[in-house]
Amino acid sequence: MHCFKHQEQHAIGICANCAKAVCEQCCREDARKIACSDTCVQELFVEQQTTDGLRGSLGIGIKPPMPPSVSTYFLFGMILLLTGVYMSFQRGGFDILTFAIAAAFFVMSGMSYRQYRSRCLSC
Ligand SMILES: [Zn+2]
Ligand SMILES: [Zn+2]
């Protein structure tokens, strides 16, 4: 696939507005999506505004839904934490391994959440 304007350049993407293949040189960096020209940037911007406005009026959050991994990891962490507490009582000692795995799940949950937050800021 080659750029619509520069036949010798390999395209890095397709304009989100008019579906032309664009090279690095032609790709507009200020666009949230790939666009081939300022006109397309403008049109995409207007489209985005409309979509945002529509979503807002419909009461749908503009933020993307939280990835299921966040709650899944958190749930696993909670289960392991409770298991750890239970095992500690049963054995009369401190079940460090279960607590360590539980902590690891909480960390993974936190990382997924951070990833979700950063993705949201860029969109
Ligand atoms: Zn275009
Ligand atoms: Zn080009």
Phi, psi of 64 (to 5 degrees): -70, 155
Say what the pLDDT of residue 50 is.
79
pLDDT in tens, 41-50: 888 888 877 7
For 119, phi then psi, to 5°, come to: -65, -35
Q: Domains of the chain: which residue ranges?
A: 13-58, 68-122
CA distance 99 to 55: 42
Q: Calculate how far, in angstroms, residue 119's C-alpha sits from the geometric centre of ligand 2.
A: 28
* Alpha carbon of 122 to ligand 2 centroid (Å): 25
pLDDT in tens, 58-111: 665 556 677 788 889 999 999 999 998 998 888 877 788 889 999 999 999 999
